[in-house]
Amino acid sequence: MNASGTEPALAAVVLAARTLCPGAGSGMLLVLSEPLSFWGGTDRRTGRVIDAHHPQHGISMAGRVLVMDASRGSSSSSSVLAEQIRAGVGPAAILLTARDAIVALGALAAAELYGTYVPVVLLDAGGAARLRAAAGTANGTTAVVTAGEDGTAGVVLSKPGG
């Protein structure tokens, strides 16, 4: 809080990234503290995290910008992710800190089969640290993700009113 008793606005933070799957998406950030399997760890009909042992259990990914190091588990996760994207209950964008073929395949399948493009981008260690620092505990932090076919991607973080 600042001297006037209000929380200071988050200045826009711009991060460079690499495209794994092209597209554009925006939404409130959902920063996962542990890897997640889409198959068995999320409800394919609602997009909620259903893994009872996951710290974000019960939270919906639908329309959110999902931030995770990488996925966990089964290669079937790609088909679950593709179906969640098709049904409109998947994330609006996915930001990874490690290349993840399963996540990329799910987004690519949704683009090819359903014409629905969810960007998947790779943040470097510095970008991931800046994102986590900017998001911190600030509720309502949003991200706009643009991932081009030329391999360049950008992420703009902001807080409502900021």
The catalytic residue positions are 74
Q: Where are the alpha helices (DSSP H) in the chain?
A: 38-41, 77-87, 101-114, 125-135
Residue 48 has phi, psi (to 5 degrees) of: -80, 150
d(CA 100, CA 92): 17
Place of tokens 């006037």: 4
How many degrees, rounded to 5, is the angle at CA 111 between CA 105 and CA 115?
A: 165
Instruction: Report how far Cα 3 is from the mean position of its chain's Cα atoms.
Output: 34
- Radius of gyration of the CA atoms of the chain, in A: 15
β-bridge mates for residue 19, sequence order: 121
